[in-house]
Structure 1
């Protein structure tokens, strides 16, 4: 019995038609020629590429970089975002109440800005050290016709008699064995302090009296305070003198000796203005 392998080949090729021998040889020769042509073309392409690279190097130009193909492996895992740290916890709140600092105390007697107390401090008045030796001091209202307003009744014509905006006043009398002086300090609201000085100046300048009386401004601008002047009157042979000094919203009147002149008034005006600074923020 024939071998099974050869029997299967015989069965599969029994019905095949074989090409003639010459035709099989022609197919082999044709395949050989095609293989040689493909090899020749591949060599020519390689030579051309080598020549092009050499020319590029000779011209000083860098060859184009070979593109890097993307990796075909597993994708690179995306890095996880950095962990954010939690915000710091606020410091614990103290349960101990904080005592506010006490405001600095004032020892000068001068009212601070914005104070609602219009009172005039004692430090704003003349002191005994500002006067010649032998004077004593008495506080409180003083009776009698001693102020500049007291002589206005002798004026037949008076430019202005009204005094507005008085909100506080303080009066002190100084006495010695030979003479006496009275000081009054008035605090005015708004700009009424300057208006009051203008009223006094106008009264002693424009007052029309009889033949036996006269009012006049003896000196104006004594170099003390915001304004300072010396005014005088002679009523039927009785002379009087007043020193008027304004410092901010305070106006001081000081009676002077009947023989006092501008130089005496200037010395007292400086002392009065300095003391007034204890009662106003204008200094």
Structure 2
């Protein structure tokens, strides 16, 4: 079994309800404002006029729920089938595949393709192994095939997980600039394969990397008081998909919507359950 972000398992990767009339109004408004989805084979577009209005879902555990009222789905590209992505695209959902670019888990289908010399320290909590991002020659072919898997299943965007090994005990003497160059190279690789690149985490490098990426995914910036670090994306009209795992939506939504983020509350396991913040 693979272990995902926050220690949750993943393969390869009491609240008050809104009144029925208000819920219907919100759904109609969101649907009416939803921009046209690019055809298969084209990277996902993110119109700046919609940046503050996306509703999103992040699910990498459990049986996929295609009926969630969300415009954007972040999913595992191995566990998600082509039939499921086709169903979601038929409903004009934007699909983002989550790919670990800076680490590998022994249970990953392509784990054997990473040579021993690029494998570093193992994260005890997750079992994932950090990779030497300075070895572009060894990592590029594997990442390219991971991105082709995403593209072949109908995803139009990819979000990079574990893009911050320089800031962890990776087992390598990685520096800020090593990671910066690697992340930019991977973003360019994704674009060459018709995928829109997104950045998960790596907040210390956001100011430098925001021009190279189309969107960001963030965990718990309200709780950690780090949301201002994501402003280079929001100020550029690029969506920030934000999740909190604790606290009431009535508390953190005020902050995250103020920053212009699309926010939800999730279980740390990232199953189908979610509580969204209302669109501004």
Q: Do they superpose with TM above 0.5?
A: no
For the superposition of Structure 1 and Structure 2, which TM-score range results when normalised by the shorter chain? under 0.3
Higher RCO (C-alpha 8 Å, min separation 6): 2
What's the TM-score once normalised by structure 1's chain length? 0.23
| Structure with greater Cα Rg | 1
Report which of the two has the higher share of helix.
Answer: 2
